[in-house]
Amino acid sequence: MPYQKIIVLLHRNQDFSAMATFELRLSSKAQPGTGRSEVLIRLRHGNLDLYGKSGCYVSPDNFHYYINTRKCERKGIRVPSQLQRLNRRDAERRGLYILEKGEIVVRGAYGGEDWQHDKETKEEVEKIVHGLAEAFEGEYYKSILNSEWMAQHIDRIRFPEKYVAAATPQVSIYEHAARFLTVREIEPSTFRGYCVTFRTMYRFEKFCRATDTPNFDWLGEDINKDVMEDFKDYLRRESDIAEEYPTLYKGIVTSMHDELPETLCMSRRADKISNKGDNTVKKTLRSICTFFGWCREEGVMSTQPFDGVVIGETKYGTPFYLSIEERNQVAEFDLSDRPQLAVQRDIFVFQCMIGARVGDLLRLTPANIHESVLEYVPIKTRNQREQVEPRVPLNQQAMAIVERYAEATRDGRLLPFISEQKYNDAIKEILRVVGITRQVPIRDSHSGETVMRPIWQVASSHMARRTFVGAAYTKVKDPNLIGKMSGHKEGSKAFNRYRDIADNDLREVTNAIE
């Protein structure tokens, strides 16, 4: 079959034509000593036009060019109907115009050295073309392939032994990531955050491989500061990049579910892609830094990609939370017409009175309460040298909630907790129904500017923790005392923001008595 007729039929729905064409050309340079010239391969597909060197050489007499019949006819030159191709020398001798493309036609003395060499060259070139066709079919987003991609695949086809080690099944970094999450005891929200990070790393890897770095590998020796800086920029612009390459990202998301361990894709929002704000970028980089440190401890990774990378401190706005009066308003509001919402309201009020993180709240059982004192070890600090074990005396209202649901849970938990996302949704609805809609300042994660939002729209389970700390801080200005109940470490920076609020309250008082 003529090489220019070798067609790749693509089985996926592409934005381009459904075929790719391969053509053979002959280099004008002759090989010293043999007089042979290298066979060049041209790949055409839509607007894509790539050239690659085959590394195979053939005698110019055995490379036959296709006759440019139309040009010959325009020049008044008659071309015999059975004549389709000739080598360059014979075409020039007969005064025929030829195209630059052609194919290898082995002539000469049967069994001779040149005949045998060019026969093997013809077979080798045919193998390369068919291998490129298969590789091309397997690439999802074809318009961004380049000559480097073509050269790499030609080398793989010709010298497969060089890639045997690379082709040997190895444990991917994402399998290590799944094991990392298994062996480290972390709270659910942190677990989900790591999963988001690992999925983003996967999309970045696939994007790099499809664009300018075909051999990108997070476990490779060339992962360094420059790569991490590129990844930092990618985090800020991923949604924009996905819009620019919609077909590529459609394929990436599909392959993500097929290739990643199931643990990393369990979230119902696993396919969500967004531009990350400054704080999220810093948190993501810290998560990866922690994971890479674990990889080095396990002998999985030898490089230190974060050498020289400046992550920076996260910046937060003024913490917003419910006042004691607002908390009581929520607790006393009549929700008898919405009994399921009333249950989540009680859990929220209880959380406001103990200050536990939602992951710890989910794990509490009646065994955590001794003589009306709640004791537990926070997941966040469980594996640290200096564990913080909160002890929170429960007031009458908190104990009443515990007793109310003593028989309501079947799984041994303290309260009938639902999923964290539904719990967060319920908190927003509770505040809206109760009528707590005051505006609070929120730091925009992308612009860094402070904007005002109704508190019910931005409320979540973590606001219950802030409500506990904020309420306690208005009564007792000792962060270490409050930390014994909330689980904050001594000297925690988190309390500085509450101190700023307290100073503002005092300033308002002094201003009022001028």
> What digits encode the pLDDT tens for the residues 194-233?
999 999 999 999 999 888 788 899 988 888 999 999 999 9
Asked if 253 and 289 touch (Cβ cutoff 8 Å), the reply is no
- What does the alpha-carbon distance between residue 331 and residue 342 come to, in Å, rounded to a whole number? 9
Q: Which helix (H) or strand (E) holds 375?
A: strand 373-375
| 106: nearest Cα among 144, 53, 59 | 59
Burial 236-271 (b: 16+ CB within 10 A, else e): eebeebbeebebbbebbbeebeeebbebbbeeeeee
Which residue carries 């480097």 as its tokens? 148
- Six-digit token pair at 297? 């401890």
pLDDT at site 505? 46
The answer to whether the beta carbons of residues 44 and 29 sit under 8 Å apart is no
pLDDT tens, position by position, 279-307: 889 999 999 999 999 999 888 888 889 98
The pLDDT score that the predictor gives to residue 513 is 39
Residue 493 has pLDDT above 70, yes or no: no
| Confidence bin at 332 (pLDDT 50/70/90) | very high
Residue 338 has pLDDT above 90, yes or no: yes
- 441-455: average pLDDT: 80
Is the pLDDT reported for residue 119 higher than 60?
yes
**CA-to-CA separations, 349 to 87, 371, 391, in angstroms, rounded:** 89, 20, 18
For 123-143, the pLDDT digits (tens) are: 999 999 999 988 888 776 676
Cβ-based neighbour number of residue 182 at 10 Å? 10
pLDDT at 308: 87
* Whole-angstrom distance, CA of residue 55 vs CA of residue 290: 45
Helix (H) or strand (E) holding 21: strand 19-30
Q: What is the pTM of this model?
A: 0.54
pLDDT, greater one: 449 or 236: 236
| Per-residue confidence (pLDDT) for residue 1, from 0 to 100 | 38
Answer with the residue of higher pLDDT: 161 or 168: 161
Residue 508 confidence (pLDDT) above 50? no
- The pLDDT of residue 484: 58
Mean pLDDT of the chain: 83
Q: How far apart are CA 448 and CA 444, in angstroms?
A: 5
